[in-house]
């Protein structure tokens, strides 16, 4: 990937490798290609200006002396070979750069920690005065905190947040620089430095700093200051029943480069949800692990959840924290279609870890599990009965259908929500990893236990073989909104989901992705987002959005100065996509940076702006075929080749079928070319209202790719009962129309004053139209009915049928009129 700048359109965008040899890029005139060295220079933050990796200097160190001086005839003569002395000198230079970066990161992290501790003391002091002296403006004491004090505290915290953001960007850029210079060294010198220097990076792991603890503290302090000492209080576990989903839910992918910035942005509006505020935050507190069950022979649960069939279930065992947690939750998700009037349900009950194996094998009955709870009386009897009923149903399904552990998902979750308030709930899952839990392929992973015990929460699980683990490259952001009918979500949420920080991937599922990835030889039906994994989701920075320092700050840099901090690949890097994995449709909004840089966000209207998904839905389709090409004809060439080896009629039949299909496609293309159809009009983005023009003024880029060989991509198709009824009504309408035309033909033939050849010709013309209409309607109805049953993503609208029928009918009417006029000798 490279960042390129179009001088004509004044845009910046990520560009993948185009046609040409492997590792080469083709660009039109007027395009500037920005390599990593240039990107590093343009993303420099002033405070860290002298502490970045000297990328250009290290590149120069890789160049040895020329054997002969350059001349006009030979400007680039051969260089001397790389020697052991050169290698020692280069490693020494790398050590100096690593020490410089590590020292700066360590000092800055300590400084930020001290600033947070100082801010915490100041906030606690102000709050104590507020609690003892009364609320602001009560007049009970002159020592009460003023509004100016809270504003100063808010500015100080905003400045600390900006420092955390800048430090995270500094770390990301330098880590990328070390990785790229090592790759360049190994490629040019053919000396392998990566394994050796990896040990040095582990000794000075400046890139492994975790800012979650600082974010939790900053979130708490900022929430207190923002609410002027009166933060929202309530049960942290409240605000939404665990038994049902919130319907307004969308999932997004977040690139690791943007994770820290995203957290810092959200905490300014929502506090980090902490279940136990009296306990010091630990890394394991955010760990969540789930074990998913399925039948490895039929994959019933996988296909049910993928196809979103009515009543599709997912069964999993989940725990929070480390492997020493005793409380395990048995959960069952049940999908309900909207037309049923019911909501999808997530129900669960708790069980001790020591009883899980016996329960899942049927040796421990549900009644025994809840016997102690009934005796204690701490929980209502109705709730215990519901849990027991759920336990019986889960146990019955597992035993009867042969469900076993197949996949584990692990991630660290940061949740943002006001306690006891479910209107806006945001969760961010990082370090997402899927691990095989099955005993297939002759390997005992979990054995007779319900989970494997050779791993815990020690991400990235380096002890596992490559075929057992899938490390998801992005973080997963989930935005849950609970608003009343007609109520708009908060403006900051709309800005967030329209920004460069996120990429919308609706209906993304950890269970589906993990199963499809870890069992490539057993799973043939893939989710629609699966081939998108080869596409870089990073986008140019959204103008006037993100972390900014308060105006009073003495530091001259802001987060906007770090405008293009995303890393990119050098032009000579290998960016070819693996032949074993082909991409599918990818759509994203490429933002213009320079066009809107001089506009102020506050001056725009705050109407109903569109987010990424809405913009894509409003974008006119120019293709007359399904966007996901994953039907059986993908393997047509392979089938013909196999039939050719057999020979005979099987081979000729497949060849004839292929040519017939191509002839049909050419016929449709010809009809499409001669058939007039209205052209769509482009609506200016700036006139669409809201903040659309601020965040997504670039064009929508759409690509169409085939599924991997031997696989199919499942496209979510919503099927309701009214869809079947609509297909039937359409068929009956065509049938009624055919009967009318047939009646006209019979009337002309049987009730004329005197049968003539002209009346026979007119009646025949109408009869042919009626028969063609009837046959066409039957064929379309059967085709649509089969597609609806199989949930295929096809074009359900009839683009040509009505036009052709009207044309034939018009011709028949004209023919009848001409014949009648001739018969009456008017012409």
Q: Please give the Cα distance from 282 to 149 (Å, whole number).
A: 31
Are 464 and 455 contacting, i.e. CB atoms less than 8 angstroms apart? yes
Give CA–CA dist 164/158, Å, rounded: 10
Secondary-structure percent of the chain, ordered helix, strand, coil, rounded to 5? 45, 15, 40
In the residue annotation, 108 being an active-site residue is answered as: no
Tokens of 49: 């200006």
Q: Given 108, 169, 220, 510, which residue is catalytic? A: 510
In whole angstroms, what separates CA 618 from the centre of its chain?
19
The DSSP H or E segment spanning 755 is none
- Token readout for 748 is 């002309």
Please state, in angstroms and rounded to a whole number, the distance separating the CA atoms of residues 134 and 130.
5
Cα gap 464→435, rounded to integer Å:
9
Contact of 406 with 438, CB cutoff 8 Å: yes
Q: Are 65 and 79 in contact (CB under 8 A)?
A: yes
Q: To 5 degrees, how large is the angle CA 702–CA 475–CA 34?
A: 55
How many C-beta atoms surround the C-beta of residue 535 within 10 A?
Answer: 18
Task: Give CA–CA dist 546/474, Å, rounded.
Answer: 19
**Rg for the chain, CA atoms, rounded:** 33
Q: Crossing angle, helix 636-646 and helix 649-674, to 10 degrees?
A: 150
User: What are the start-end ranges of the H helices in 507-596?
Assistant: 510-518
Residue 564 to residues 3, 42, 53, 145, 567, Cα–Cα distance (Å): 9, 7, 17, 41, 8
Q: How many helices (H) and strands (E) does the chain have?
A: 21, 17
DSSP 272: B
C-alpha 650/C-alpha 796 separation (Å) is 32
* Residue with the two structure tokens 């090592």: 182
Question: What tokens were used for 576?
Answer: 């070819």
The three-class DSSP label of residue 677 is coil
Report yes or no: 436 and 404 within 8 Å, Cβ to Cβ: no
Contact yes or no for 301/293 (Cβ under 8 A) = yes
Q: Which residues contact 613 (CB under 8 A, 6 or more apart)?
A: 250, 504, 506
Scored b (16 or more CB within 10 A) or e, 614-649 reads ebeeeeeeeeeebbbbbbeebeeeebeeebeeeeee
The enclosing H or E element of 228 equals: none
**Residue whose token pair is 């890393």:** 567
- Token duo for residue 588: 């994203």
Contact between 745 and 766 under an 8 Å Cβ cutoff? The reply is yes
Enumerate the β-bridge partners of residue 328: 351
Q: Which residues of 109-130 are buried (b: 16+ CB within 10 A; e: fewer)?
A: beebeebbeebeebbeebbebb
Residue 469's SS3 state is: strand
Name the DSSP letter for residue 687.
Answer: G
* CA gap 749, 742 in Å, rounded: 11
Q: Is the peptide bond before 460 cis (omega within 30 degrees of 0)?
A: yes
Helix (H/G/I), strand (E/B), else coil: 470: strand
Of 768, 778, 762, 776, residue with least CA distance to 815: 762
List active site positions: 510
């Amino acid at each position: 990937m490279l960042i390129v700048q179009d001088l004509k359109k004044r845009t910046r965008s990520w560009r993948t490798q185009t046609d040409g040899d492997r590792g080469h890029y083709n660009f039109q005139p007027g395009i500037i290609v920005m390599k990593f060295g240039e990107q590093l220079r343009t993303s420099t933050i002033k405070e860290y200006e002298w502490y970045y990796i000297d990328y250009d200097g290290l590149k120069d160190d890789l160049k040895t002396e020329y054997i002969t001086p350059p001349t006009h005839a030979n400007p680039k003569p051969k260089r001397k070979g790389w020697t052991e002395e050169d290698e020692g000198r280069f490693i020494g230079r790398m050590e100096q750069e690593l020490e410089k970066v590590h020292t700066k990161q360590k000092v800055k992290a300590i400084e930020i920690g001290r600033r947070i501790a100082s801010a915490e003391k100041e906030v606690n002091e102000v709050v104590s005065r507020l609690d003892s002296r009364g609320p602001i403006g009560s007049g009970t004491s002159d020592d009460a905190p003023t509004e100016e004090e809270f504003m100063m505290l808010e500015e100080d915290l905003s400045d600390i947040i900006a420092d955390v953001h800048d430090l995270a960007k500094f770390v990301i850029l330098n880590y990328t620089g070390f990785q790229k210079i090592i790759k360049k060294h190994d490629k040019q010198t053919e000396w392998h430095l990566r394994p050796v220097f990896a040990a040095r990076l582990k000794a000075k792991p400046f890139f492994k700093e975790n800012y979650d603890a600082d974010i939790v503290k900053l979130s708490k302090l900022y929430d207190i200051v923002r609410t002027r000492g009166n933060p929202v209080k309530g049960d942290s576990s409240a605000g939404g029943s665990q038994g049902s989903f919130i319907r307004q839910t969308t999932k997004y992918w977040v690139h690791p480069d943007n994770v820290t910035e995203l957290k810092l942005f959200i905490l300014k509006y929502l506090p980090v949800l902490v279940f136990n505020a009296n306990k010091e935050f630990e890394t394991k507190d955010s760990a969540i692990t789930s074990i998913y069950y399925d039948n490895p022979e039929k994959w019933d649960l996988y296909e049910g959840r993928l196809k979103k069939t009515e009543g599709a279930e997912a069964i999993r065992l989940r725990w929070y924290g480390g492997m020493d947690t005793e409380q395990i939750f048995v959960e069952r998700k049940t999908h309900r279609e909207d037309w049923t009037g019911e909501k999808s349900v997530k129900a669960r009950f708790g069980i001790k870890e020591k009883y899980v194996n016996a329960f899942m094998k049927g040796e421990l009955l549900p009644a025994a599990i809840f016997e102690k709870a009934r005796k204690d009386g701490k929980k209502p009897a109705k709730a215990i009965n519901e849990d027991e009923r759920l336990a019986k149903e889960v146990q019955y399904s597992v035993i009867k259908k042969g469900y076993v552990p197949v996949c584990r998902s692990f991630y660290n979750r940061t949740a943002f929500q006001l306690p006891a308030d479910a209107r806006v709930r945001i969760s961010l899952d990082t370090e997402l990893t899927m691990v095989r839990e099955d005993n297939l392929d002759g390997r005992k992973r979990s054995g007779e236990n319900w989970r494997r015990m050779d791993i815990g929460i020690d991400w990235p699980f380096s002890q596992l073989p490559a075929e057992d683990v899938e490390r998801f490259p992005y973080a997963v952001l989930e935005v849950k909104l609970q608003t009343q009918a007609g109520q708009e979500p908060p403006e900051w949420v709309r800005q967030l989901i329209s920004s460069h920080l996120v990429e919308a991937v609706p209906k993304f599922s950890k269970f589906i992705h993990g199963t499809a990835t870890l069992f490539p030889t057993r799973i043939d039906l893939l989710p629609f987002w699966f081939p998108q994994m080869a596409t870089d989701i990073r986008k140019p920075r959204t103008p006037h959005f993100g972390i900014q320092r308060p105006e009073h700050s003495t530091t001259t840099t802001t987060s906007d100065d770090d405008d293009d901090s995303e890393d990119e690949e050098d032009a000579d890097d290998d960016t070819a996509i693996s032949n074993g994995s082909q991409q599918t449709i990818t759509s994203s909004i490429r933002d213009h940076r320079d066009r809107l840089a001089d506009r102020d966000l506050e001056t725009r209207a705050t109407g109903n702006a569109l987010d990424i998904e809405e913009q894509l839905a409003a974008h006119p389709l120019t293709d007359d075929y399904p966007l996901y090409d994953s039907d059986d004809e993908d393997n047509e060439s392979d089938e013909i080749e196999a039939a050719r080896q057999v020979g005979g009629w099987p081979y000729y039949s497949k060849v004839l079928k292929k040519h017939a299909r191509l002839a049909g496609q050419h016929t449709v293309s010809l009809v499409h070319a001669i058939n007039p159809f209205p052209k769509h009009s482009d609506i200016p983005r700036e006139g669409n209202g809201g903040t659309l023009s601020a965040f997504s003024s670039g064009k929508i880029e759409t690509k169409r790719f085939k599924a991997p060989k031997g696989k199919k991509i499942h496209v979510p198709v919503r099927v309701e009962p009214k869809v079947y009824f609509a297909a039937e009504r359409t068929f009956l309408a065509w049938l009624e129309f055919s009967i009318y035309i047939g009646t006209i033909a019979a009337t002309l033939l049987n009730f004329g004053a005197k049968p003539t050849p002209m009346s026979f010709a007119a009646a025949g013309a109408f009869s042919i139209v009626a028969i063609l209409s009837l046959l066409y309607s039957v064929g379309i109805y059967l085709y649509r009915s089969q597609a609806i049953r199989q949930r295929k993503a096809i074009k359900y609208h009839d683009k040509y049928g009505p036009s052709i029928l009207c044309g034939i009918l018009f011709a028949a009417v004209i023919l009848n009129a001409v014949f009648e006029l001739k018969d009456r000798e008017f012409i």
